[in-house]
Structure formats: C-alpha cells, structure tokens
Amino acid sequence: MKKHKSHVSGTKDFIDINNVHRSFLEKAFALTDELKRHPRIPLLKDKSLAMIFAKTSTRTRVSFEVGMTQLGGHGIFIDARTSQIGKGETIADTARTLSRYCDGIMARIYDHKDMKELARHASVPVINGLTDLLHPCQAMADLYTIDEKLERLKGINLAYIGDAKNNVCHSLMQLSTKLGVNMKIGCPKEYAPKKGIYNLSMKNAKVTGSTIRLFTDPAKAAEDADVVYTDTWVSMGQEKESERRLKTLKPYQVNRKLMKHAKPFCLFMHCLPAYRGNEVTADVIDSPSSIVFDQAENRLHTQKAILSLLMNKQRALMALEHR
C-alpha cells in the first residue's frame, strides 16, 4: 500500500466532507496507515467521546467504541430516546453540557440540520456518524479501502448503482471528487443525488480533474468500472416506502450479469447491512471480488485517525513524524 503524505490544516469538526480541507483528508489516510499497523497507540489516553445515537447501529457504535478503547480513551453511549435529548432538551443545551464533560462528540441522527446545530454550540469536535444527508465516515473507509486494494485513487472508476439519493452516495461523491476518483451513478431519475450535493461535487471535480456522470441505465454506469458499489434500497425511516422502492429499484440489482459490464477484476463494495436478493445477489457479495468486510474493518481504522486528528492533533502528527 502506498504511503500518504501531506500537511494538515485546522479543522474542528468532521461533518461534511465538502467543508474539510483536502490536506486533512490525506493526513487522515496517512495516520490510518500507521494505526492499522500499530492499533494500540494511545493517542487519546484518558479522553472521552460522547456517542449520541438516535438511530440503531452495529458498525458505527462498535467501531467508535473499540476505536476509543484502542486509542487509550473511552466511548460513552448515549441513547437519544432514553436520555434527556429524547425528552425535549434542546440540541444547543446538549452540546454545551457534553462539551463540559467530554473531549469530543459523535452523533448518529436523522436530520442533518440537527448535526450542524450540535456542532455550532459544541466547544469540542463533533463527528458525523450518519445523518439523512451525509455519511462521511463511511466514505473515508470506502476510499481508503479502494486505495489499499488498488494502490491508487486518482483516475479510478467507481460505479454506484441503485438509490443514489442517499447519505452514502452523497459523501462518496464529495470525497471522490476531492481525491480524483471518477464516479458513474446508475439510478432511476427519482432516486438521483440531491442537486446541491451534486453541484458542489462537480465544482470539486473541476479542480481535481475527476468526473461524475449520471445514467438511468445501470449497465452503462457499470461499464469499465474498477469498483461497483451499492447500498440497501430501504434505509431506516423509509419502511413505509418499501414496496414502491423495491419495485422501482429492481432493475438496478447488482448481479453477475451487471458485473460483466465492469472490468474483469472489478471489486464489489457495500456499506452493509446487505439484503441478498434485493440490491445484490449472494453470488456477487459472497464472491472473491467482494471487499465488503474490508470496508467494515476499515471503519475502525479511519475513524481512529479522524478522532485523533480532531481531539489531539499534536500527538497525532507526532506519531506520523516518528513512523
């Protein structure tokens, strides 16, 4: 795997990749390399992370909690539904209070506006563990995994198939265009990415020379792809739309027939949880070309790098200097 090098600029929060300087992203990847080789460097010794969950979680909760432990700190789980947050306490008051107790806040919540409100009133770093609009930590793990497998990002062709009007696709667009990855998106018109995210990503693409192209034909999107990516068709909070979504997205299933349009050694990615027989067939997700569990593992490593750079930048940079 190649070494990552860069300087890092000042960054308080990690909420929206479009607002994060490229130098921070590259430094996070460099630190991920180091923390993956040496997982128990105590960069956050005795520090605490408040972890707010309004949505259920497996990978996000475990990866952040284990990550804080490996870094020498402590993750504190806060269920929004059984805490004062769920009983009407304002986001501003929650942010101010937790800032007095903890060294950082990670939140997995529904409304992206609430995430921005949390960061606005917190005096400690805030990390977006997922909102209905963006999922930046997932995108970081995804592109790190691609770089790990293909040993480059610049010029890689990433095809995203299915529901593209979702947080994972949005953050992938943002990060891909900042780091020179080409994206082709295959989706129905009604599930195209939000225009605001798309337009900002196009501006990034002009700087890095990458491209984003939208197709309603999934085969055209998958053509010449180095990586094919999909996500669940029915996310949390969309259960009432389930029947319509499954019917509309059925032609966008990632199966062996679709994968034949990609490059011969194309990789398959999925952020999980996956529903075999819906967005992807078992013979694709369980094949040797699937790297979905490498993605899942790398959530741990990339998030540890983000935590370290936000909550103790000086020690994090020292760890890189001495590697």
Same domain, 154 and 250: yes
Same domain, 153 and 288: yes
Q: Per the residue annotation, which of 147, 271, 295, 303 is the catalytic one?
A: 271
Q: For residues 293 and 297, what is the distance between their CA atoms, to the nearest angstrom?
A: 6
Same domain, 279 and 303: no
pTM of the complete model: 0.95
Known active-site residue 84: no
Give me the helix-helix angle, 112-121 and 91-101, nearest 10°: 50
Same domain, 191 and 288: yes
Same domain, 164 and 90: no
- 52 phi and psi angles, rounded to 5 deg: -95, 125
Same domain, 151 and 111: no
Minimal CA–CA distance to 272: which of 288, 249, 295, 252? 295
Q: Per the residue annotation, which of 59, 231, 301, 303 is the catalytic one?
A: 231
Same domain, 69 and 184: no
Q: For residues 2 and 147, what is the distance between their CA atoms, to the nearest angstrom?
A: 8
Q: Per-residue confidence of the chain (323 residues) as pLDDT tens digits?
A: 444 443 344 579 999 999 999 999 999 999 999 999 999 999 999 999 999 999 999 999 999 999 999 999 999 999 988 899 888 999 999 999 999 999 999 999 999 999 999 999 999 999 999 999 999 999 999 999 999 999 999 999 999 999 999 999 999 999 999 999 999 999 999 999 999 999 999 999 999 999 999 999 999 999 999 999 999 998 767 777 889 999 999 999 999 999 999 999 999 999 999 999 999 999 999 999 999 999 999 999 999 999 999 999 999 999 998 77
Known active-site residue 231: yes
Same domain, 182 and 207: yes
The pLDDT value given to residue 7: 38
The pLDDT value given to residue 10: 59
The pLDDT value given to residue 8: 47
Q: Does residue 322 sit within a domain?
A: no
Q: Does residue 9 sit within a domain?
A: no
Same domain, 78 and 182: no
Same domain, 52 and 164: no
Known active-site residue 59: no
Known active-site residue 108: yes
Q: Does residue 77 sit within a domain?
A: yes
The pLDDT value given to residue 234: 87
Q: Per the residue annotation, which of 70, 132, 138, 245 is the catalytic one?
A: 138
Q: Per the residue annotation, which of 59, 261, 299, 301 is the catalytic one?
A: 299
Q: Per the residue annotation, which of 135, 245, 261, 270 is the catalytic one?
A: 135
CB 203 within 8 A of CB 236: no
Known active-site residue 112: no
Q: Does residue 4 sit within a domain?
A: no
Known active-site residue 299: yes
Q: Does residue 2 sit within a domain?
A: no
Same domain, 144 and 285: yes
Q: What's the domain count of the chain?
A: 2
The pLDDT value given to residue 6: 38
- Whichever domain contains 312, its CATH number is 3.40.50.1370
The whole domain housing 23 covers: 17-134+298-317
Q: Per the residue annotation, which of 108, 112, 170, 245 is the catalytic one?
A: 108
Same domain, 37 and 90: yes
Q: For residues 212 and 74, what is the distance between their CA atoms, to the nearest angstrom?
A: 40
The pLDDT value given to residue 87: 87
